[in-house]
């Protein structure tokens, strides 16, 4: 690849799609999304899935358990044109795309705004919405509940509902009542299930490999939904969605190729797929390796990405892999450009506390100690402003980011100023050591594509320095 400008380009496509939303968290969005994806997959459809918001685990379920390609759509990280471009890009070749909402339909920034919420993604993409309504402990009261959602929404994207946790005996009468009194179609119901399909922990759900017999249980759920949900009706709704027009951001590729080692295993597996794809488009060749199982960072690497994840759950194994810890420290101290996010940042400290409170030696790049806290620390969206030049660009550069961590560190750095998008809360963060930038914030590269390019340019400089030696 020669260095050059990849111009922005409009992409208008007909994408059969619908968005699954809910009245609040814990009402069955992920369960029903996975169940419906399984049911449609069993019908032989080519599928694509998306998750609203900064979530890693739900897309992992979509991809690793269901075999359905999945990505993120986040209206805090990107503008409308870019978000619609990413929808069109991710839906390439799919006969049906399903978008899973986040939290309650109208919940957004700070709990008092619809910005960066499910309803904004629905409006930006003009996707028909199916609202999941948990009927546990309710019958006729569900009518004014649905009416309130319909009346409150200005864009009028809500086109249907699915009733969750309702008796099959009650459903026909309640469906008739809702459709008689409200301008909405009821696409079916989910009966009260005998056991929990998913268990919660940390962020969203347990990871796929930790959930027993998940595929079998999803197939059982899909069989139930074949009987209780109007799948053909949902397909017709998806076909009614208007074409999506997005615009690809203008990109400047680097000259040649640089090789970026990416930590990817059971301890480090939180990464936006779009980030990796963008790096490749800009000129990176990705070399995946395991800090748990491999002996060293790939020797041919020109850069290093230490992803987020759950290193605290594998602290002993990470600590006992002494050769990898020494390799990571050695290559960073030798000048290899490195970005470390959240879990990757924890790994670079001198010690990491596991869930039982035991301390384990880590890579010792930083002298800090990483420790557990009783609740989420500095949770949510932030806007980062660089206080000094770093791998991602000049001082003054701004980046949308997100934090989600129960662990903290004795020294989180001061290179960036993090500001909450609502309210007045702010704090210093990020350790900047020239060739190393590390901290708790997670970056979404499409939120600042030039930052991704700046990282690869640093990798290119390192590569050229190696050739001169």
Residues belonging to the active site: 342
Distance (Å, whole) CA 285 – CA 257? 7
Radius of gyration of the chain (CA): 23
Distance (Å, whole) CA 274 – CA 290? 21
Distance (Å, whole) CA 347 – CA 313? 12
Residues 6+ away with beta carbon under 8 Å from 417: 384, 385, 387, 426, 427, 428, 429
CB 338 within 8 A of CB 299: no
What the block records as the tokens of 437 is: 């930038």
Length of the chain measured in residues: 469
Distance (Å, whole) CA 363 – CA 346? 9
CB 358 within 8 A of CB 371: no
Closest CA to 432 of 386, 376, 378, 383: 386
Give strand pairing partners of 11.
246
CB 434 within 8 A of CB 392: no
Closest CA to 143 of 168, 116, 161: 161
CA distances to 20, 114, 229, 339 from 313, rounded to whole Å, are 32, 35, 39, 21
What the block records as the tokens of 53 is: 């918001």
CA 277 to chain centre: 14
């Amino acid at each position: 690849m020669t260095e050059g400008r990849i111009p922005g380009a409009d992409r208008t496509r007909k994408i059969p799609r619908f968005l699954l939303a809910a009245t609040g968290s814990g009402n069955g969005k992920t369960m029903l999304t996975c169940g419906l994806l399984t049911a449609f997959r069993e019908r032989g459809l080519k599928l694509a899935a998306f998750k609203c918001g900064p979530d890693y685990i739900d897309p992992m379920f979509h991809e690793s358990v269901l075999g359905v390609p999945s990505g993120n759509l986040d209206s805090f990280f990107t503008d409308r044109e870019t978000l619609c471009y990413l929808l069109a890009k991710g839906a390439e070749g799919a006969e049906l795309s399903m978008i899973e909402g986040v939290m309650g339909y109208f919940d957004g920034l700070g709990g008092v705004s619809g910005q960066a919420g499910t309803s904004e993604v629905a409006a930006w993409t003009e996707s028909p919405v199916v609202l999941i309504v948990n009927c546990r402990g309710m019958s006729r009261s569900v009518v004014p509940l649905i009416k309130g959602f319909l009346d409150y929404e200005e864009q009028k994207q809500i086109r249907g509902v699915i009733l969750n946790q309702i008796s099959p005996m009650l459903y026909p009468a309640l469906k008739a009542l809702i459709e008689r009194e409200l301008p909405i179609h009821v696409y079916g119901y989910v009966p009260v299930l005998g056991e929990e399909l998913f268990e919660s922990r940390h962020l969203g759900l347990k990871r796929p490999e930790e959930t027993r017999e998940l595929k079998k249980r999803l197939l059982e759920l899909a069989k139930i939904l074949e009987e209780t949900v109007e799948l053909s009706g949902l397909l017709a709704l998806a076909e009614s969605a208007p074409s999506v027009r997005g615009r690809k951001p203008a990109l400047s590729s680097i000259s040649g190729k640089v090789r970026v080692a990416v930590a990817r295993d059971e301890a480090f597996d939180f990464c936006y797929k779009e980030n990796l794809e963008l790096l490749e488009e800009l000129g990176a060749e990705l070399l995946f390796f395991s800090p748990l199982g491999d002996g060293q960072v790939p020797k041919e690497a020109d850069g290093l990405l230490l992803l987020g994840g759950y290193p605290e759950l594998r602290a002993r194994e990470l600590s006992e892999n002494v050769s990898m810890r020494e390799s990571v420290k050695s290559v960073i101290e030798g000048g290899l450009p490195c970005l470390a996010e959240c879990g990757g940042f924890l790994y670079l400290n001198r010690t990491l506390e596991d869930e039982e409170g035991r301390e384990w030696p880590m890579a010792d790049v930083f002298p800090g100690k990483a420790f557990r806290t009783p609740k989420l620390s500095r949770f949510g969206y932030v806007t980062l402003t660089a206080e000094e030049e770093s791998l991602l660009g000049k001082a003054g550069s701004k980046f949308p980011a997100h934090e989600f961590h129960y662990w903290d560190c004795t020294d989180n750095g001061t290179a960036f100023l993090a500001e909450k998008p609502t309210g007045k809360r702010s704090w210093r963060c990020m350790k900047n050591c020239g060739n190393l930038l590390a901290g708790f914030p997670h970056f979404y590269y499409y939120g600042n594509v030039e930052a991704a390019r700046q990282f690869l340019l640093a990798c290119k400089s390192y590569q050229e320095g190696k050739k001169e030696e």
